[in-house]
Copies of this chain bind each other. A is one copy, B any other.
Amino acid sequence: MATIGDVARRAGVSKVTVSRVLNGAANVNAQTRERVEQAIRDLAYLPNLAARSLRSRQTQTIALVVPDITNVFWTTVARGVEDQAQKKGYSVLLGNTDENPEKQRSYLRAVMQQRVDGVIIAPYNRDSDTIRPLLDQKIATVLIDRKLDGLAIDSVRGDSVGGAYALVSHLIGLGCQRIAMIAGPRGASTAEERALGYCLALRQAGMQLDARWMRWGEYKAAWGEEAAAMLFAGEPKPDAIFAANNQIALGVWEYLLKRGVRVPQDVALVCFDEMADSARLFPFFTVAAQPAYAIGSAAADLLFARIQGGQDQPAQEIGMAGKLVLRASCGRLLKQAQADGALAWPGAEAEVRAIPPLNEEELKVLEACQRELAEIENV
């Protein structure tokens, strides 16, 4: 494969001049540039990025570290990142952590060896030590979706508190009395914030937070199934379930299917995150949908700004509100669906609104809720 030296020889110039043409430097004679470009075409020359990186200390590569690319939320985020990166001429290195500390560590090692210019990461918990190596090496880093404790660092997040609050308030408005929450992992900021939103909504409605209806676990379908089984083992049974993410909801659904429990006739089911193409296909889940693509591209933008801007400027934390998408899973819309006599009916997604921000009063109870939540352990 041709090197810069080959091109230089063919064009009758020095390597430096070729390098200048390659990098679009202004101080190159037009004719010289033309000769060099011709030589580049003739030899089908492609610069060796390893050599370039070694010298320039830039790899034109960023890494995206997510829990599981198989989850729609993350694939959409990834698409947002990738599109933005492509525009800027960067490549994207992809890694799945499966919410596993060991995998995350090993993956971070790999990207540090690659000397990527920056990392976009959804850390598996809120312990800032897990990304310490990145900070130590001053690698530009953007947190996505989740927070880290006591670290001012660029980040892009959805509105977990607000989304959960809106979902649970909606259930309460429908008359649900025993609203269970199947939560994510303690330690993940989104999991804690969604629990908080749940708690706030109950308080706001004058309902008690009941430890029986609150289960901490993982963002995985298997946990949703297990937790649903626990919730339906005793009496009374819940009349609504709030799943902390889409994976959990899928597991719950699986359990309900097996047991012949009908949604929404027997129990309402709502969740955080959108449900793949099911938005179009299966309009039964009421969800708090996050703007995943926008979150991904915003994170990429932030990262590129940081890469160019350096460590000086202050950290930016971007919050992106989502939408509460009301569908048949809560009883109301189902009637309409049945009236239309088919599984296919128009307008099932009609009612869509932005998540309302918490008001001052709501914010006041926040601290109390946090205290309450802190005491709940799974039985």
Interface residue ranges, A against B (CB under 8 Å): 1, 44, 46-51, 53-54, 59, 61, 68-70, 72, 75-76, 78-79, 82-83, 86, 91-96, 103, 106-107, 109-115, 133, 136-137, 246, 250, 253-254, 256-258, 260-263, 265, 275-278, 280-282, 284, 341-346
Contact = CB atoms under 8 A, between A and B. Distances in A.
23 contacts: A48-B113, A49-B50, A49-B115, A50-B53, A61-B114, A69-B69, A69-B75, A69-B79, A70-B76, A83-B96, A91-B110, A93-B93, A94-B94, A246-B277, A250-B280, A253-B281, A257-B344, A262-B342, A263-B343, A277-B278, A278-B281, A278-B282, A282-B282
Q: How many copies does the complex hold?
A: 2
A282 to B, nearest CB: 4
A74 to B, nearest CB: 9
A70 to B, nearest CB: 5
Which 8 pairs of residues, A with B, have the shortest CB-CB distance?
A276-B276, A282-B282, A50-B53, A262-B342, A50-B54, A94-B94, A50-B50, A49-B113
Among A69, A262, A278, A281, the one with the most B-chain Cβ atoms within 10 Å of its Cβ is A281
Nearest to A107: B86
A49 B95 CA distance: 17
B82 A96 contact: yes
A324 to B, nearest CB: 19
Contact of A82 (B83, B94, B115, B246): B94
Contacts of A50: 49-51, 53-54, 59, 114-115
Contact of A46 (B48, B79, B113, B282): B113
A50 B1 CA distance: 18
Among A50, A54, A69, the one with the most B-chain Cβ atoms within 10 Å of its Cβ is A50
B94 A92 contact: yes
Among A253, A277, A278, the one with the most B-chain Cβ atoms within 10 Å of its Cβ is A277
A59 B275 CA distance: 37
Given A68-B79, A258-B346, 19 more contacts: A1-B137, A46-B113, A49-B114, A49-B115, A50-B114, A51-B54, A61-B114, A70-B76, A75-B75, A91-B93, A250-B280, A250-B281, A253-B344, A256-B344, A257-B344, A261-B344, A263-B343, A277-B278, A284-B343
Contacts of A111: 91
B277 A250 contact: yes
A329 to B, nearest CB: 10
Nearest to A264: B343
A104 to B, nearest CB: 12
Contact of A281 (B86, B91, B133, B282): B282
Contacts of A345: 257, 260
A341 B260 CA distance: 11
Contacts of A113: 46-49
A276 B346 contact: no
Nearest to A47: B113
B95 A93 contact: no
A263 B96 CA distance: 37
Nearest to A276: B276
